[in-house]
Amino acid sequence: LDDQAETVLLGLARGAGATSLQGMAAGADLDGVRLLRPLLDVRRTTTRTACAAEGLDPWDDPHNADPRFARVRVREKVLPVLEAELGPGIAEALARTAAQLREDADAFDEMIDETIEDIVEHAEAGISVSVAALAANPAALRNRIIRHVVASEFHQSLARSQTLEVARLVTDWSGQGPIDLPGCRARRVGGRIEFTAR
């Protein structure tokens, strides 16, 4: 739980968006390997107490004490100040926030999967999305669809500023030219936004 709180706080400080604020998943697939974090809801002190009670000697990664790493500074300096100034329970609140955002993201992902089937078509050297369909969706869903299309088709992540520039092709169209993005280019062609490989 402490690691989760640190992850969320670092994501918040970096302005990394809702995906980063979801923190770590209890289970995830990483390069075909299932990664499980069964103790994600357990505080570090509880884990250490349990190890001591069982006579176990836990291994401490030396990087976890090196202040050159932002995560260590958050753990040793920032979270204690937040607890002292705002009251106890900050780590738990950050972990709850991550869980709530993960639930929201799961719902959005399901909505995106259902929506994309109807609004996306393959285009020459890429993929295209209906402008009218994107415009009909709220900004949060529209932006997620744009990011999803680029990630799934070109295996690239878009920064928020890049996502908003593509969204302007839908919501604030004034004849602007193509937008260079990581791994692809977006442009409006008639009633569609085309994403093509660069």
Q: Which domains does the chain have, with CATH numbers?
A: 2-105 (3.40.50.620), 124-197 (3.30.465.60)
Q: Does residue 139 register a pLDDT over 90? A: yes
Measure the CA–CA gap between 157 and 147, rounded to whole angstroms: 7
Of the chain, the percentage scoring pLDDT greater than 90 comes to 72
Q: What are phi and psi of 30, to 5 degrees?
A: -125, 105
Residue range 155-165: mean pLDDT, rounded? 93
Q: What is the pLDDT of residues 40-79, one digit of tens each?
A: 999 999 999 999 999 999 998 999 999 999 999 999 999 9
Q: Is 89 left (phi over 0), alpha (psi -120 to 50) or beta?
A: left
> pLDDT class for 107, splitting at 50, 70, 90?
confident
Average pLDDT, rounded, for the chain: 92
Q: Does residue 89 register a pLDDT over 90? A: yes
> pLDDT class for 5, splitting at 50, 70, 90?
very high
Determine how many CB atoms are found less than 10 A away from the CB of residue 85.
Answer: 8
Q: Give the containing element (helix H, strand E) for 188.
A: strand 184-189
- Predicted local distance difference test score (pLDDT) of residue 114: 81
Contact 173, 103 (CB under 8 A): no
Nearest CA-CA partner of 94 in 111, 117, 78? 78
Residue range 126-137: mean pLDDT, rounded? 94
HSE value, Cβ hemisphere, 13 Å, CA-based, for 54: 9
pTM of the model: 0.73
Residue range 105-130: mean pLDDT, rounded? 85
In sequence order, which residues have a C-beta less than 8 Å from that of residue 18 and are 6 or more positions away? 101, 104, 105
CA distances from 175 to 52, 74, 184 (A): 67, 46, 19
Measure the CA–CA gap between 2 and 8, rounded to whole angstroms: 10
Measure the CA–CA gap between 185 and 162, rounded to whole angstroms: 11
Q: Does residue 109 register a pLDDT over 80? A: yes
> pLDDT class for 8, splitting at 50, 70, 90?
very high
Residue 32, helix vs strand vs coil: coil
